[in-house]
Amino acid sequence: MTKSLFEQNGVTYRNVGGYNIPNLILLPEEASVTLGKWGMMHKNYLLKHEKVLFATLLTKGELYQHCAEVENQAKYMFDTLIEQMKESEGVTEELKEQNQWEWVQRLGNIQVRAREMVCNELIYR
């Protein structure tokens, strides 16, 4: 039983008993990353709708880092949108003091719209 090495398409193989066995190496473990709401939503989207990208990121050990980056971008975008919309629509602390129910309704509406924008621009892409 001879063992000979050869390379094909960037992968090295060894011949063992007439079978070509790839010489696989383990990548370093992916850093432990805790994903929040946005990162988990993006990961689930990739798993269900972008299976090739999901598998590629997973096998390269980059999936959680990618999702963590999307998480950070989404948090920043969401917070920025909330502040911009509150300012442009006059949802202020004065309104909160004068009419709490209206303030809650308007702020809730702003949050729903901001969440939808973040999902369409970052999470489901």
Pair of tokens at residue 49: 């709708």
pLDDT at 104 over 50: yes
pLDDT at 3 over 60: no
Between 34 and 47, the higher pLDDT residue: 47
How many CB atoms are located within 10 Å of the residue 92 CB?
A: 12
Q: What is the mean pLDDT of residues 20-41?
A: 82
Output the pLDDT for position 30: 64
Q: What is the mean pLDDT of residues 48-55?
A: 96
Q: What is the mean pLDDT of residues 71-75?
A: 98
DSSP-assigned letters across all residues of 31-65: PP----HHHHHHHHHHHHH-HHHHHHHHHHT-HHH
Alpha-carbon gap, residue 26 to 30, rounded angstroms: 11
Q: What is the pTM of this model?
A: 0.76
Please state, for a pLDDT cut of 70, what percent of the chain lies above it: 88
How many CB atoms are located within 10 Å of the residue 66 CB?
A: 19
